[in-house]
Structure 1
Amino acid sequence: MNWKQALQDYKYYLSIERGLSENTISSYILDLKKLINYLNDYEIDQKPLQINQETVQKFIYDIAKIVNPRSQARIISGLKGFFTYLIFEDLRTDNPMDLIEAPKIGRKLPDTLAVEEINDLINAIDLSLPQGERNRAILETLYGCGLRVSELVNLKLSDLYFDEDFIKVTGKGDKQRFVPISNINKKYINIYIKEVRHKLKIQKEHEDCLFLNRRGKQLTRAMIFTVIKRLAEKIGLEKNISPHTFRHSFATHLLENGADLRAIQQMLGHESITTTEIYVHVNRTHLTNVLNKFHPRK
């Protein structure tokens, strides 16, 4: 087995067997290609089934000089997964990554926006432009439903269950969940649909996509990033924000206002409560308030 074949087989395994999204698969493959490029650069002729511990240790040692600890840990985790896959397929009997430890990294707390900052961003949208109503609906949905940017751009008209106050969201690994949606969020989506979207010349195969560009095609993730960056610059916001910042703010504000952590987990689509628990650390004042409110010895 050569590396090209190994990459193809591994991509198929990640997609079919594990059901991972295209973005996640691309990240795994990109990290694996770093190892392949390293072997080529140093003319090391070791195939996937023959590469040894010494070689991968040297690769990790060298790459640690040029990437940060978080990226290094991700690469190590990805390579361990690849060699575990080879063992699972009975192609290898050992994992050359077994004795390689990832660097210790602290858990990065997510950036959040204050409610006033979110209001300022939304108020900065130029509603005299057709895309203004669309952009307002986008920001309201990112913050109002706590969506990932990939989930937002893939929203369909057929995913809107407004009579039941829910939207259907397709998350990582094509897993679907129902997320509640507020009246104000529904209001701005409906304004966009009725006043802007229906006037577009919608391209074939994009008829069911909710958020469209001016050419009638599905919006890209990059476009959402651009919209938010421009609004941040417009109001002079010094924080480095992205679409994910609205998701973090959604979870943080719910928690600060007394929402149950399990409910937040379900709305965010986190498989593990551990992932959701990061929001407990964002505002420790909330923990003090919980103690003072619920502990019998106040």
Structure 2
Amino acid sequence: MFDLIKHSRYDLQTQTSWDNLAHLIQTDGWMDHEDMRSLLLKDGKTLTLEFIEDDWIFFLFYLYGKTRNKQLQPNSILEYKRDMNVLLEFLADPANAFNTVGLADPAPPSCRLKDIGRLQLRAYERYIKERYAPNSAVRKLSFLKSILRFGYEKGFVSHNFRDEFSIGQKVVAITERKLNYEELQVVLNELRKKPLLRIIGSLFILKGLRVSELCAINNADLESGLYGDTMVKLIRKGGKVTRKKIPKNVMYDILIYREQLRSSLRNRGLELNESPEAPLIPNKNGNRLFREHVWSMIKRATIRAGKEHSTLKKKAKDVSPHWFRHTFATIALDSGASIQDVKDELGHEDIRTTQIYLHSLKEETGSTLADLINSKVQV
């Protein structure tokens, strides 16, 4: 193991290899090996990554060797891995990355993360701000600043780049990330054409689920409620577990879909996995749905629905499953739900997050000063 880490020959392409090394770092198992202690302990006391050459192995130390206030959840780890992949792909070929987004700025030389410099940082900042929406750009640049700070503290990078690039501020764009009643109905009509899309759309708009929550539901997560309703266990953001009722019509659609899928698989000589750990809502091959797959299905369906609808057509390319979550919150509040009920349904830890939707709704439905003046005089 010592030679693999020191000479960057550790194969992280398989999940088993990734899990093994992650466990070794997370449990400080490397401290049981004298050679690894000599490589990773500075003066025999503090962790140093100065002699680590592989960027992904450094990333594993960032994930599992860094002191954190709370344990990272699987979805957060996936998000970090995606951000790391975007960063390393850019550093490997900045010129091609700039051509992809149409930037004419000079591209810096390619490099490893360990050798990153001011030129690459400034170029990556321009690339991210051009390619991604403001909040996504803020998150990716925040990740970069965090991982470089950790790298400097542990000797992986030789310079402190804390002030070399700006992150910016998150923007509240709730009104830009929801569908109005008419647009929503057009999209739902399109989703109803396919059983799986019908279920996904129903759970998004009736329960305000996150994609990760939907994909993670297993057969064992279903149970019967006090009045015979079907309850489902959800793993919320941050690892919090809650129980929610599935509407009867949606549960009926799930059962019908699974029966049709069971028959389809048998015709292909396959069996639907009915084990407790298997997904409740599998894809057409009986496997678990993944975030990227759901995003793609929703986007394609919205684009199809928007072909004959002027305002939806303009939004369609930007619509994602999270738009349904915003739409759910806004419609629930507009229909008279209390802000506390919406907060609980969405799984927000802070009610101030839910209040953003209420503020957005008031902007659209409340009386303005112009309305008050028009009620007194004719303009």
Kindly indicate whether the alpha-carbon contact (under 8 Å) linking 2:209 and 2:325 is maintained by their aligned counterparts in 1: yes
Alpha-carbon shift at residue 250 of structure 1 (Å): 0.9
- Quick one: structure 1 residues 13 and 268, their matched pair in 2 at CA, closer, same or farther if it must change by over 3 Å? farther
Range with bigger deviation, 160-169 or 247-256 = 160-169
Alpha-carbon shift at residue 209 of structure 1 (Å): 0.9
Residue 86 of structure 2 corresponds to residue 12 of structure 1: no
Letter in 2 for 1:177: T
Alpha-carbon shift at residue 3 of structure 1 (Å): 5.0
Equivalent residue, structure 1, for 2:79: 24
TM-score by length of 1: 0.72
- Quick one: structure 1 residues 60 and 103, their matched pair in 2 at CA, closer, same or farther if it must change by over 3 Å? farther
Larger radius of gyration: 2
Kindly indicate whether the alpha-carbon contact (under 8 Å) linking 2:191 and 2:201 is maintained by their aligned counterparts in 1: no
Kindly indicate whether the alpha-carbon contact (under 8 Å) linking 1:11 and 1:29 is maintained by their aligned counterparts in 2: no
Alpha-carbon shift at residue 9 of structure 1 (Å): 0.7
Matching of residues 1-298 of structure 1 within 5 Å: 1=49, 2=52, 4=54, 5-13=57-65, 18-20=71-73, 21=75, 22-30=77-85, 33=88, 37=92, 42=109, 47=114, 55-56=117-118, 58-68=119-129, 70=134, 72-85=137-150, 96-97=161-162, 101-104=166-169, 106-109=171-174, 110-125=176-191, 132-164=194-226, 165=229, 166-193=231-258, 195-199=259-263, 200=265, 201-203=271-273, 208-235=278-305, 236=307, 237-238=312-313, 239-240=315-316, 241-285=319-363, 288=366
Q: C-alpha deviations, 1:215-272, integer Å up to 9, x for none?
A: 2222233332343334334433413222222111111111222323333233223333
- Quick one: structure 1 residues 141 and 13, their matched pair in 2 at CA, closer, same or farther if it must change by over 3 Å? farther
- Quick one: structure 1 residues 23 and 257, their matched pair in 2 at CA, closer, same or farther if it must change by over 3 Å? same
Range with bigger deviation, 238-247 or 169-178 = 169-178
Letter in 1 for 2:289: L
SS of equivalent to 1:74: helix
Equivalent residue, structure 1, for 2:45: none
Letter in 1 for 2:281: F
Instruction: Quote the Cα distance in structure 2 between the aligned partners of 1:119 and 1:197.
Output: 27
Alpha-carbon shift at residue 204 of structure 1 (Å): 8.3
Instruction: Quote the Cα distance in structure 2 between the aligned partners of 1:141 and 1:14.
Output: 36
Task: Give unmatched runs, 5+ long, in structure 2.
Answer: 1-48, 95-107, 266-270, 368-379
Question: Kindly, what percent of the aligned residue pairs are identical?
Answer: 26
Task: Give unmatched runs, 5+ long, in structure 1.
Answer: 290-298
SS of equivalent to 2:225: helix
SS of equivalent to 1:169: strand
